[in-house]
């Protein structure tokens, strides 16, 4: 009985970690959409952020092209994710509005 409980706990822990790690900054798209809806982002800012999001997706795809993401590629991708997250925050809070208020 202890073995079954231990195995179940380890599997649950592994699945929880995997899910949490899968999309640490995956909500930037939602932040952009929310910023457009509320008028916090101008049309140009939203287009620029979506282009950055597309570049990040392409960067990940190219890194996985050989079947493995190297440590250096992972560092560059994570740095880009953090920079994009900061850009979303900065542009949403820069005081420029879309004019729909």
Checking if the pLDDT of 28 tops 90, the result is no
**Predicted local distance difference test score (pLDDT) of residue 16:** 64
Checking if the pLDDT of 86 tops 90, the result is yes
Q: How many helices (H) and strands (E) does the chain have?
A: 4, 0
Helix axis angle, 28-38 relative to 71-92, nearest 10°? 10
Instruction: Provide the pLDDT confidence category of residue 19 given band limits of 50, 70 and 90.
Output: low
Cβ-based neighbours of 66, under 8 Å, separated by 6 or more: none
Higher pLDDT, 49 or 20: 49
pTM: 0.67
């Amino acid at each position: 009985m202890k073995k079954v409980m231990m195995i179940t706990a380890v599997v649950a822990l592994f699945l929880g970690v995997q899910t949490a790690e899968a999309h640490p900054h995956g909500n930037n798209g939602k932040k952009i959409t929310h910023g457009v809806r509320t008028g916090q982002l101008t049309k140009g800012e939203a287009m620029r952020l979506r282009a950055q999001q597309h570049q990040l997706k392409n960067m990940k795809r190219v890194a996985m092209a050989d079947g493995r993401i190297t440590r250096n590629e992972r560092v560059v991708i994570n740095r880009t994710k953090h920079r994009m997250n900061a850009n979303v925050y900065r542009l949403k809070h820069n005081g420029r509005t879309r004019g729909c208020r």
